[in-house]
Amino acid sequence: MTGLAEAKDDAERAALIEAGRLLFARPCTFFYAAQKSDQLPPPGLPEVAFCGRSNVGKSSLLNALTGQKALARVSQTPGRTRQLNFFNLAERLVLVDLPGYGYAKASKDMQRDWQGVMFDYLRGRPNLMRVMLLLDARIETKSADRAAMDLLNTAAVAFQIVLTKADDVGPVKLAARLEEAKDLARRNTAAHPLVLVTSSETGLGIDELRAEVTSLAAPL
């Protein structure tokens, strides 16, 4: 299935969004967790991974996508989640919640461990279709975000930039942040050209993100 960027007209775009609504109305359940690369489950269904700095709103976004309040835990302590969590969506797709990066108080050993586990997962996962790279719409792109993009480029893994927390940004600043994100997408060889703007609070962009993820799922 093609994604929103390839939609030829409003009717095709509407059909993609409806397909996303239908898929994400189905059950999505946790089934596996791994802290080390040798603990990963065997490849199976197509996977879409969600990655971002600590406190970027990744858990809230996953909960909003699936319509479940506690699918992914919203931690009050940034950087606390140190494992890869796998969720089965209707036997058509696996959503992977990757540990947050860039937490200032994380030790250097923890940062190295994160990069090692992430690179092993990214480069060795044949069923990984795309990484959704979450950037906070309220703040500038950090060096840790750029390092994550470099890692994705090096691993030759397609990724798509998703701006989060857009409800907490004024229209002028949000427009500037979107242009910055689009520029980042153009500059990174592994980046998808379409940047999505989302808010877990208002539902902005959730339908579009569902449609993009659904385009990567196993066919019916």
Q: What is the pLDDT along the chain (220 residues), one digit of tens a residue?
A: 778 988 889 999 999 999 999 999 999 999 999 888 788 899 999 999 999 998 899 999 999 999 987 676 544 444 445 689 999 999 999 999 998 887 555 445 555 666 677 778 888 899 999 999 999 999 999 998 998 999 899 889 999 999 999 999 999 999 999 999 999 999 999 999 999 999 999 999 999 999 999 999 999 8
- The domain 4-214 is placed in CATH, from the list 1.10.1740.10, 1.20.1630.10, 3.40.50.300, 3.40.640.10, at 3.40.50.300
- Which pair of structure tokens corresponds to residue 182? 């689009």
Helices in the chain by DSSP H: which ranges? Answer: 10-24, 58-66, 108-123, 143-154, 171-187, 206-214
CB 205 within 8 A of CB 197: yes
- Domain limits of the chain? 4-214
Q: What is the pLDDT of residues 13-63, one digit of tens each?
A: 999 999 999 999 999 999 999 888 788 899 999 999 999 998 899 999 999
Biggest CA pair distance of the chain: 50
CB 169 within 8 A of CB 157: no
CB 121 within 8 A of CB 84: yes
